[in-house]
Structures are given as C-alpha cells and as structure tokens.
Structure 1
Amino acid sequence: MMHREFLASPVGVITIEASELGVTRISLGKPPTDAPMPSDITGMGRQQLEAYFAGERTRFDLPLDLHGTTFQRKVWSCLCAIPFGEVRSYGDIAAMIDNPKAVRAVGAANGRNPVAIVVPCHRVIGGDGTLTGFAAGIERKSWLLAHEGVAVKPVRRRRVFDAADLGQGNLFGD
C-alpha cells in the first residue's frame, strides 16, 4: 500500500509518498489529487520538512525506498553528501562517481531524483555557477538555496532573437 501526506510550504504544496519500507517520492508544487493516507514514515517526512523550512534542520534522517538504475542511485548517494548551504556542479558529481565525462548523464540522473529536498538535487548548479534545471522550477531551486544561505549567479538566459530583429526581414538570414 502506498501512503501519502501533504505539506503546505514556502515553495508550494509538497507531497510525501512512502511504501512500508521508506519514502518513495517527495514532489513539489503539484496540487494533491488523491486523499491523504498518512503513515509513520510520511509523518516523519512531514515533521522533518517542517523543521527544515523553520530553519531547525539541515540534514534528513528518513528511511528511503528509492528505485533507479545503478548509475542513478550512485548519483543520488553523492547528492546526499553535499552539505546544507553548499553547492556542487554537475561536473563535480561526475568526478565524485569516478566518471568525469558523464556530466550530462549526471544531469539526467539529477532530474530523475524522486525525493526532492531530502536527496538535495537543488544543491547542484552549472559549472559556471549559475542555476540550471530543476524539475520543480528554477524559482523553487533559487528559494531553497537562498533558504540555505547560498548566493548564486542569476539564471542563465539564452538569446533566441531580439525584438529589434522583428520586422527586419527573415530572421534566418535567407
């Protein structure tokens, strides 16, 4: 049986899901569609997340029941080693797993992390120090890092075309 509990937080509604073995998923900002079915494990998750948001907890001590590839689990384990208030780059994580060329694969594994905040994928940033991808949105990632006292560079924005380009003929130079 899958258990679930919801928590209103500064980053939106958090859904905590757990099996009998441990927390299986923590998702941010998705409104609940199912009725709560709390358990001791989801209750522990809720209490620890409340303490995190209150500034009273910097580490989590929850049983986890995570399913992923061997590579993903290796990455997620490295994420748990990033201390509160610190960040690492995707390249740093790739080096930690002794696979320095696997930067993109690390990014993909980071994006598949099912347990946001507790497995702190929000603490991974671009190699140039800017915020990059976060399944729950860059704004939430920025908030979580600021909550932990981390100053980061603004979000990188790519120029696709400028308003001045409009009306100047074909944008593709034909």
Structure 2
Amino acid sequence: MERMITLVSHTDTFTPDSALSTRSAESTDCEALARLLFTSYESRLYPTQADAQKELEAVFAGEKGDFFAEASPVVVDENGRVIAAALCLKNRKDDVEPSDVPTIFELVTAASRRRQGIAEKLIREAMTSMKNNGFEEVTVRIPETNAPALALYLTLDFHRWQPADEDLY
C-alpha cells in the first residue's frame, strides 16, 4: 500500500475561468464518475468499476463525511460525458486527520484531457466555494509518490500538514 500524505492550504477566492463550464456533482453522476475513476486510474486504485461506484455511493451518502456539493465541480464534455471532477467533503468520518477541515476527497480528469489545466481550475473553483461558505482551510490526501499531483498542489500553495503538537525539526 502506498504511503499517503496530507496537504493543507488556506482557501481563497479565485476568478472563475469562463472557458470551463462546470456544475455541482450529484448522486446521479455515480456511474459516470465510477467509469471515469476506473479508467483514469487504470485499475490501480479500484480493481473494478463496481468498486469505484461503491466508493462513490458511500461519498454521496455521507459515509465518508458530509458531502460538499457546492464545492464539488464536475466538467461535462460536448457529448454529455463527465470528463473531470473534484469531489469534496466538509469533514472526514475516517481516521484521517485533520477531520474537521474540508477535503478534496477525489480529483480526477480523463486521461485524454490531462495537461490542459482542468484539475487546477477545479481545485480553484472548489477552494472559492469553500471560502465563500466560511471555511478557511482545505486538505487533500495523495500518494507520496504521485509527483504530478504533488507538483499541482504545491503550485496552489498547499504544504504538508503537521499536527500542532508535532515538532517540525
């Protein structure tokens, strides 16, 4: 199992990108999002599409934390297919700390649409929504070896989260 790291950033208000059309994620998106997760991660994260769908159904049902629909943008292409999404929670119900800070639970972009800035725009949109809803911080957990994701989050001023009682040195 890959070692995961938690990153944290202050929320901020960003100017929306008018070229990116988004809408809030809905539970009716589960099947399309599961297909996107399964194909995008090439079975590394979810052995089957059904496993991905089960996880997403748990997210929308609030089993992972309170689903934050307003801060969960989805991008749909000209053919009506979901091509990217940022699914956010207001808090976490698992053992991951900090549990009381909103988190980007899942960020996924179709392989054919990567390297176009979509993920960054989704993160910025999610952070703006969180800020507008009174939240000052946001977290994300990523595999320590996911260099592209780490680079993306670092450009958005995320840094490694440390519990307040842990000495950095």
With normalisation by structure 1, the TM-score equals 0.30
Larger Rg over CA atoms: 1
**What's the TM-score, normalizing by structure 2?**
0.31
Bigger proportion of residues as strand = 2
